[in-house]
Amino acid sequence: MKNKKCEQITRILRFVFILYLLIQGNVLFPEDSTTSYSGYYDYPFSFGVEYQSLFPLTTLIEDYNFNFFDVSGTMELPRILFPGLKPVLSGGVMFTLGKNLDTTSFYADDKYDHTSLYGGLGIEYSYWFSKLMEMGIQLTGGADFSSFPNLHPDEQARGSLFIYADCKVPLTINPIYNLSIDLQPGIRYRRSLSPLHYFDGFLFSIGGSINFRLGQDPDITGLIRSIRFNNVTLPAIFAGMQSYYNQNPAGSVSMTNIEKQALKDVKVSFYQAGFMDSPTPGQLITELKPGETAEIPFFAAFNGEIFNTEGITPLTGTIVVTYSIKGKSGEQTESVLYDLYDKTSLRWDDDKKAGAYITPADSVIKDYVSFIKQSGKEKILGTYNNPIQTAMLFYSGLHSTGCLYQADPILPFVSVQQDTAIIDTISLPRDTLKRITGDCDDLTVLYLSMLETTGIESGFITVPGHIYPVFNTGIPARNFRKVHPERTMTINLKGTVWVPVEVTMIGKGTFLQAWEAGAREWLAWEDRPANRKLHITREVQTTYRPVGLKKIDIDFPFGNSRNIAEGFEKNINALSGIIITDFENIAASTAGKSDYNKLGIIYAYFNKTLQAETAFKKAITADPDYVLAKINLGNLFYQTGRFDDALSHYTLALQDFNNRDNPSSATYLKLLLKLSVVCYELKQYDEARKYFVFARNISPGETELYSYLNSGEESKTRSSELPGYGLVLEYLEDE
């Protein structure tokens, strides 16, 4: 038995010796031939505290479990022979708690509970992967005296002397040079020198320690100069492009390694005092060979102070280059002069830069938009396209303020767009409102800011010498006639209808005239598509985020509410006349049920209720089984508050569906919900619940929004604000 144990110990020592040779020979963790972190970051002395839990690897006493807790202090003495190898002194106390398996918890007075005071001496080797990371192996041995206060004197001695040996593998993190934190798994072997041998054997340990190291960080004791700066390129910086410089290079630095060894982990940062919270990290080069020259881009993360400048501000920035050589860290700096232009300045080398000046979050724009919407709310049609009406209303609002287009007499847009070297200015929307004049780019970003504030998807069109806005109606391209009978008056983009608006006509023409002018400009470049571009605001703002603005109050003319409403009404009436005439001509020429149904829908959109009723009835006359026209007639009655008539026509449509073999279509589902809603309006809550349950059985997911219909009682919310209101007013037509 003794020989077998000796053989096991020999194997352990042999493994430790082989592990040491592999680490020392750089086989397990090879380091660069010019770098020795273990030597460079060596320290003379350390002390620390450690806590660990230990678990027996074999059963110590039948019907018992034991928990071991250890608190100790350690000291590492000055190294011997070579870096990383240090003597270790340790001492501490170990608490052992026993639990009889017949009980449910540990008891402090169990007869096998004991406390061990120990001390030992050993040696530790640490391998440094970097300044922040170490891994090592620690071997210690010593003796402990254990006191068993609860043992009966007649059964066993109350004290016992043990010898022990520890083998640990510390995994170390160094947040700073003088502080280390260890995670230490390991094995402990104990053997009693008294007759009490219950606790002999191997224990697995896991714990952690905090160590304080003496000495001075070698990285701050001296300065290495291993690079030569050849050239620093930093063009003018534009405050309005603040977000752009976070993700795209602001400039570049050319430098050469003048050492005979390679530079490792070369990183270029840029810092501007007063306009940055910290240096902006740039690109990392893992190695710069001796004599090698590299040009490295750098970025610039400016803070909000950049928006508080006016005109041109000359600045001196700092290029910071960090690297390592032969295990030592180096840092060099270079100053660079450049000009900072204020937030209104830009170069037109990329038309998408206009996106940075579209500011929907600006409190000034929000307040102005709120005023305009309040002015026109009585004239807005609840059944017609919201983006079109909102765009009309905003056009009328700007017209009411007296806003006018005025070309820049010094730098007109046509000049600055063609010569990208020219520094142009583009007014922020809040400033344009204050002046109530602007050129095409000023008015475009103002109008788009207003649209985006209300959630309308927008964009801008650029052609040689000009820029103007466009917005998405959300109407499918196949239904372009609901926007305008002339297809060329709209733009088909990603399957929906977009409307261009020539905003320079504000104060000079109607919304329809501005729309027609925008469409003509788009068509004028149809045979030269490379010269016309349509940029979607939300897409360009992923690169050019909006300029940051502080909340302020600006005194500017909001316009006259009455004039705004009247101007909008004239525009919507003019558009409705064009659209209605087109649908009337189609229905008159075909006399088909589908075209009469579409005509009725258009009438309903524009509150022509008598004409809509006549058109729907003509569709039903053409085909008495035409369900869609019956549903739409019910919608019309609902829209005008004739709930009994609406219920009657919905019921007729339901009978037609029930006579079919497969009524469970999308239209059938909508009809059931419409019936439920109108019954709810008539306070027939049981009937409302009945139809809702029918619909829910068909599609639980699609009916979840309307669960209030299943309540059996009246909601406190106004009917027009309930989700079912919009559902009923959804007019249906043949695909």
Percentage of residues in the chain having pLDDT higher than 70: 87
Q: Would residue 701 be called left, alpha or beta, if left means φ above 0 and alpha means ψ between -120 and 50 degrees?
A: alpha
Average pLDDT of span 21-37: 46
Spell out a b/e string for 706-732, using b for 16 or more CB atoms within 10 Å of the CB, else e: bebbbeeeeeeeeeeebebbebbbebb
Q: What is the pLDDT of residue 645?
A: 93
Average pLDDT of span 330-341: 91
Q: Please report which confidence band the pLDDT of residue 416 belongs to, taking 50, 70 and 90 as the band edges.
A: low
The 3-state DSSP class for residue 392 equals helix
Cα of first residue to Cα of last residue in the chain, in angstroms, is: 92
Q: What is the pLDDT of residue 467?
A: 93
Backbone angles phi, psi at 660, to 5 degrees: -90, 165
Q: What is the pLDDT of residue 160?
A: 84
CA-nearest of 382, 386, 385, 456 to 719 is: 382
- In tens, the pLDDT along 500-542 reads 999 999 989 999 999 999 999 999 999 998 889 999 999 999 9
pTM beyond 0.95: the answer is no
pLDDT of 708 above 80: yes
Spell out a b/e string for 511-550, using b for 16 or more CB atoms within 10 Å of the CB, else e: bbebbbbbbebbeeeeeeeeebeebbbeebbebbbbbbbe
Average pLDDT of span 65-94: 84
Q: What is the pLDDT of residue 9?
A: 46
Q: What is the pLDDT of residue 26?
A: 45
- In tens, the pLDDT along 344-364 reads 888 888 899 999 999 999 999
> Rounded to whole angstroms, how far apart are CA atoms 556 and 554?
6
Q: Please report which confidence band the pLDDT of residue 23 belongs to, taking 50, 70 and 90 as the band edges.
A: very low
Q: What is the pLDDT of residue 646?
A: 93
The angle that helices 593-605 and 561-590 make with each other, rounded to 10 degrees, is 170
Q: Please report which confidence band the pLDDT of residue 70 belongs to, taking 50, 70 and 90 as the band edges.
A: very high
pLDDT of 99 above 80: no
Fold of 222-343: Immunoglobulin-like (2.60.40)
Domain regions of the chain by residue span: 12-217, 222-343, 347-562, 625-728
Judged on CB neighbours under 10 Å (0-12, 13-18, 19+), 399 is buried
Spell out a b/e string for 143-174, using b for 16 or more CB atoms within 10 Å of the CB, else e: ebebebeebeeeebeeebebebbbbbebebeb
- In tens, the pLDDT along 566-600 reads 999 999 999 999 999 999 999 999 999 999 999 99
Q: What is the pLDDT of residue 109?
A: 60
CATH architecture assignment, domain 12-217: Beta Barrel (2.40)
Q: What is the pLDDT of residue 472?
A: 97
pLDDT of 711 above 90: no
> Rounded to whole angstroms, how far apart are CA atoms 5 and 710?
80
Least confident residue range of 23-37, 634-648, 684-698: 23-37
pLDDT of 35 above 60: no
pLDDT of 30 above 60: no
Backbone angles phi, psi at 651, to 5 degrees: -65, -40
Q: What is the pLDDT of residue 254?
A: 94
H-helix or E-strand containing 513?
helix 511-524
The 3-state DSSP class for residue 671 equals helix
- In tens, the pLDDT along 288-318 reads 999 999 999 999 999 989 988 889 999 999 9
Q: Please give the mean pLDDT across all residues of the chain.
A: 85
Place of tokens 């630095």: 253
> Rounded to whole angstroms, how far apart are CA atoms 399 and 509?
9
> Rounded to whole angstroms, how far apart are CA atoms 645 and 303?
63
Least confident residue range of 83-97, 222-236, 466-480: 222-236
Q: What is the pLDDT of residue 176?
A: 85
In CATH terms, are 12-217 and 222-343 the same topology? no
Q: Please report which confidence band the pLDDT of residue 147 belongs to, taking 50, 70 and 90 as the band edges.
A: confident
Q: What is the pLDDT of residue 734?
A: 83
CA-nearest of 13, 148, 145, 20 to 84 is: 20
Task: Annotate 421-462 with three-state secondary structure.
Answer: CCCEECCCHHHHHHHCEECHHHHHHHHHHHHHHCCCCEEEEE
- Domain 625-728 bears CATH identifier 1.25.40.10: yes
The 3-state DSSP class for residue 591 equals coil
Judged on CB neighbours under 10 Å (0-12, 13-18, 19+), 455 is exposed
Q: What is the pLDDT of residue 382?
A: 86
Place of tokens 């009406």: 389
Q: What is the pLDDT of residue 33?
A: 39
Q: What is the pLDDT of residue 719?
A: 54
Percentage of residues in the chain having pLDDT higher than 90: 51
Amino acid at 78: P
Q: Please report which confidence band the pLDDT of residue 402 belongs to, taking 50, 70 and 90 as the band edges.
A: confident
pLDDT of 483 above 70: yes
CA-nearest of 384, 471, 401, 479 to 437 is: 401
